[in-house]
Amino acid sequence: MSKTIIVSNRLPVKIQVKRGETIYKPSEGGLATGLGSVYKGAGNVWIGWPGKIVKDKKAQDKVRAELKEMHLYPVFLTREEIDDYYEGFSNEILWPICHYVPSYAQYKHRYWEAYKQVNRKFAESVLQLAEKGDTVWINDYQLLLLPFLLREKLPDIGIGYFQHIPFPSYEIFRQIPWREALLEGVLGADLIGFHTYDDIRHFMSSVTRIMGLSSTANHLTVHNRPVVVDAFPMGIDYEKFTEIAMLPRTRSNIKRIGKTAGDAEMILSIDRLDYSKGILQRLQAFDLFLKQNKSYCEKVSLLMVVVPSRDEVPQYRELKEEIDRLVSDINARNQTLGWQPVFYFYRSFPVEMLSALYQTAQVCLVTPMRDGMNLVSKEYVASRIDQKGVLILSEMAGASKELSEALIINPNDVRGLANALLEALEMPESEQKERMCAMRKTVEKFNINHWVKLFMERLKEIKNMQRSLATRQITSTTFDVILNKYTAARRRIIFLDYDGTLVGFNVDPLKARPDKELFNLLDQLLQDERNRVILISGRMYETLDEWFGHLPLDIIAEHGAWTKKHNQSWKRYHGLSDDWKREIMPVMENYTDRTPGAFIEEKSFSLSWHYRKVESGLGEQRAMELEDNLKFFAEDRELQILQGEKVIEVKSNLINKGKAAVFLLEEDDYDFIVALGDDYTDEYTFRALPERAITVKVGNKISEAKYSIPTYKDARRILFQLAAAK
Ligand code: GDG
């Protein structure tokens, strides 16, 4: 039976040693809860670092055996590996880059070496457990290289990758010296998930610009394998938070907090110590709020929980010192005998206390500068079983895309934040309830289980799509069937598209000239008198004539505007006009003048605007604009606008490759019909040919063809084999 293997940097347990005995406590994190339902399922497992350095081999074996009972498999890391792979590459390069603080990044080569080494270590652990048919779900930025390392060894396995932190804009990501290797690593996955649409956009632009891959919407083709990039906003365990809210210990904590805070309303903030969390700006905003609203002095306090983190690292230590200074300053200037403006805790609390704090706080203040999702905001909402309270939420947190009923702020706008605090404290109860109810519905529906389900289902769908594409692939068995039909046939017709089908793609169309091997192939096919070979292309007839005019084959050029039969001269399709070009040409020229790298290709009955040499992104945008500009004009004149591989082509809709192919097909009685093509224009041929025709798509795109083969090289190989069979 196939299983799911979850992989993350940390295993979902905390190891403690008490009186010489090792105790394993499940960690409370949302990921652990959500994926718990997956890894505890039959045969499923979780692989990760156990959170403790265990040097001794015997001790490692013991921990391994004990964890195995919980379906957990440890990857043991050394002190140096933790320092350079985790603290170094992950937290001193990827973390600041993904949170838009590139000046904090420390590009040390030692870190990169360790990152590669530890990713390989994880790969070895996965490979020891993985079998054909299994699914691997990799979590987070510490393991960006793992998908590719697994793909190399297990080409068919299902791999999902989810990134919990933001993916930065291309402008930031490109700064990493090892950017290509990181992208290549993650592209080993079949499904790549982020929290928000913005992350997808940024990832796609990095992939298309840095790797030069082309994309359609959120789909990529990587070495002929479809890869999907999608948004899965992570949820929390809603039920658990509602239950904790009602526990006796939580209720008694609420009473204790009430006594401490007195009559003052409470504003709550909870974060790990980190420069991405906007802690200083929040304090400045609270200070400004007190200055601007003196009447609120003694009536409201900020309760700030900062969970200790990495305070031995200089940037974190400095941040901590600044927070300490600012808190003392605000308290010293404002506090009275009976009132403390800021309660500041540099520690963590048990969940029952956390829930009590969420339930007591009139306002929850979540103001990160950047945050992948931010679960605190969702936990506040889930804990408010009384449906009261106001959430102030930074627009830079992924959660703001879902919790639109919160007061959304820009964390850099200290004045705006101070105003939002006033609005929150003065918000009528009816409005609070209306907003909170709406947010509770969202958090309840898009909970952690829903998130896991959506991700796993999407991954399954992609694997099915890949399988159905693979079943169309010509195998040795299907090839034998084709070969038998070929040898038995008396009269054969062979339609061959040119670019992408018989030769590879070239940035300069005129450089994609036929080579010796291709002429050899055509010669061999043409030697058999039973074969009629037809080149069917969108190219200009002049070029095709120069390249192939001397061969005893038929040529269809410009999608059927021109035809040349063997031993005859070129014939034009009757009834086509090119008057429209006079009007369209100036529009295209205008776009060419505005767009460096763009060029126009003029054929007798069509005009193409190429943008393959234009800056990535700009070309696509101008092409869209151009299409928009020409749309109505084209409709009125029976023209068709085709979006191809980095080209927009305008041609008469009276002609297409399909119509042209049928025209020649009807000239004789063929008992073997085959057509090979790679792009959207060849779909007309596939569609127009009779059911018994053998239609073959070159490449792994969705198509109406019956079969597919990966590249033009395979097309040549198959055609050589047919030609040799006679
Ligand atoms: C990543 C991304 C993304 C905090 N203080 C205490 C405590 N916590 C718990 C909260 C919450 C969790 O820590 C913090 O969750 P966040 O979402 O804010 O951030 P991370 O987990 O650091 O990081 C983030 C997340 O992954 C999920 O994809 O949302 O953007 O950075 O659950 O409750 N828990 C306890 N005591 C505390 O004092 N028990």
If asked whether residues 56 and 115 sit together in one domain, one would say yes
- Token look-up 């850099």 returns 412
Question: In sequence order, which residues have a C-beta less than 8 Å from that of residue 34 and are 6 or more positions away?
Answer: 234, 235, 237, 448, 449, 451, 452
Q: Which atom of ligand 1 is nearest to the CA of 350?
A: 39
Calculate the average pLDDT of the chain: 93
State mean pLDDT over 362-381. Answer: 97
If asked whether residues 292 and 440 sit together in one domain, one would say yes
Q: What is the distance in A from the centroid of ligand 1 to the CA of 205?
A: 29
> What pLDDT is attached to residue 148?
98
Instruction: Judge residue 526's burial from the number of C-beta atoms within 10 Å of its C-beta, 0-12 exposed, 13-18 middle, 19 or more buried.
Output: middle
Q: Which of 108-122, 279-293, 306-320 has the lowest mean pLDDT?
A: 306-320
pLDDT in tens, 14-49: 888 788 788 888 776 667 766 776 777 778 999 999
Which of 8, 14, 90, 164 gets mutated to test ligand 1 (max ligand atoms within 8 A of its CB)?
164
CB 165 near ligand 1, within 6 Å: yes
If asked whether residues 298 and 367 sit together in one domain, one would say yes
> What pLDDT is attached to residue 33?
67
> What pLDDT is attached to residue 726?
67
CB 372 near ligand 1, within 6 Å: yes
Using pLDDT thresholds of 50, 70 and 90, give the confidence band for residue 643. confident
If asked whether residues 272 and 358 sit together in one domain, one would say yes
Question: SS3 of 524, please?
Answer: helix
Using pLDDT thresholds of 50, 70 and 90, give the confidence band for residue 395. very high
If asked whether residues 183 and 244 sit together in one domain, one would say no
State mean pLDDT over 126-136. Answer: 95
Kind and range of the H or E element at 601? Answer: strand 599-603
pLDDT in tens, 195-223: 999 999 999 999 999 998 878 888 998 98
If asked whether residues 616 and 514 sit together in one domain, one would say no
CB 357 near ligand 1, within 6 Å: no
State mean pLDDT over 624-646. Answer: 89
Distance separating the N- and C-terminal Cα atoms of the chain: 47
CATH code of the domain containing 22:
3.40.50.2000
> What pLDDT is attached to residue 27?
76
CATH code of the domain containing 592:
3.30.70.1020
- Token look-up 């890869």 returns 227
pLDDT in tens, 239-279: 999 999 999 999 999 999 888 777 789 999 999 999 999 99
Using pLDDT thresholds of 50, 70 and 90, give the confidence band for residue 185. very high
CB 233 near ligand 1, within 6 Å: no
If asked whether residues 172 and 249 sit together in one domain, one would say no
Q: What is the distance in A from the centroid of ligand 1 to the CA of 270?
A: 9
Query: Could you give the number of structural domains in the chain?
Result: 4
State mean pLDDT over 159-165. Answer: 97
If asked whether residues 332 and 375 sit together in one domain, one would say yes
Question: In sequence order, which residues have a C-beta less than 8 Å from that of residue 243 and are 6 or more positions away?
Answer: none
Q: Are 376 and 238 in contact (CB under 8 A)?
A: no
Q: What is the distance in A from the centroid of ligand 1 to the CA of 540?
A: 61
State mean pLDDT over 523-545. Answer: 96
CB 354 near ligand 1, within 6 Å: yes
Q: Which atom of ligand 1 is nearest to the CA of 351?
A: 39
Q: What is the distance in A from the centroid of ligand 1 to the CA of 187?
A: 27
In a domain, 455, yes or no: no
> What pLDDT is attached to residue 664?
94
State mean pLDDT over 84-111. Answer: 97
If asked whether residues 590 and 544 sit together in one domain, one would say no
> What pLDDT is attached to residue 217?
80
Q: Are 166 and 197 in contact (CB under 8 A)?
A: no
Q: Which domain holds residue 216?
A: 4-231
Percent of the chain with pLDDT over 70: 99
Looking at per-residue pLDDT, the higher value among 586 and 635 belongs to 586
Question: In sequence order, which residues have a C-beta less than 8 Å from that of residue 689 and are 6 or more positions away?
Answer: 495, 658, 661, 662, 665, 673, 675, 695
C-alpha–C-alpha distance, residues 108 and 618, integer Å: 34
Q: What token pair was written down for 478? A: 């299907």
Which of 353, 376, 379, 403 gets mutated to test ligand 1 (max ligand atoms within 8 A of its CB)?
376
pTM of the model: 0.84
CB 234 near ligand 1, within 6 Å: yes
Q: Half-sphere exposure of residue 303, counting CA atoms within 13 Å on the CB side? A: 21
> What pLDDT is attached to residue 29?
65
